[in-house]
Amino acid sequence: MIKLDVGNVLLKPSHRKQLMGWLRRAVRLGERVGDFALTVSMERIGRRYEARALVHNSAGDFDCRSRHTDWRNAARDLASSLASRLHEQQLLRV
C-alpha cells in the first residue's frame, strides 16, 4: 500500500505518475518482504524540497529523507535510497 501526501508541493497528474514510476521498484521489493506499507510526503521548505518516506514491513520499520532544490531530484534520490534499503532488508531475511 502506498500513501502519497504532497503537502505544499504542487504536482500535476503527470508528475504524480512519474513519481509512482520511480517508486515501482521499491514497491515490488517491499511486497516481496511482506506486510508492506509506504507513506511518501513531500514538502517545500524555503527554496528546497524535502521528500520523506516511512516504510513499515515485516522486516522492520525505517524512514528515508532527501532534500534538493528540485522536487524531481529529491523524489528520484528518495526512490533510489528506498530501493537500496528494501533490497538490503530482503537479503538479510534470506
80: domain CATH number is 3.30.160.100
List the domain range (segments joined by +) for residue 77.
2-93
Task: Give the pLDDT confidence score for residue 20 in this predicted structure.
Answer: 94
Q: How far apart are CA 53 and CA 50, in angstroms?
A: 10
63-91 residue pLDDT tens: 999 999 999 999 999 999 999 999 999 99
Task: Give the pLDDT confidence score for residue 81 in this predicted structure.
Answer: 97
User: What's the average model confidence in pLDDT over 53-72?
Assistant: 95
10-51 residue pLDDT tens: 999 999 999 999 999 999 999 998 899 999 999 999 999 999
* Residue (of 26, 3, 39, 40) closest to 86 by Cα position: 26
Task: Give the pLDDT confidence score for residue 43 in this predicted structure.
Answer: 96
Total domain count, the chain: 1
Task: Give the pLDDT confidence score for residue 1 in this predicted structure.
Answer: 85
Cα atoms found within 13 Å of the Cα of residue 8, Cβ hemisphere only: 8
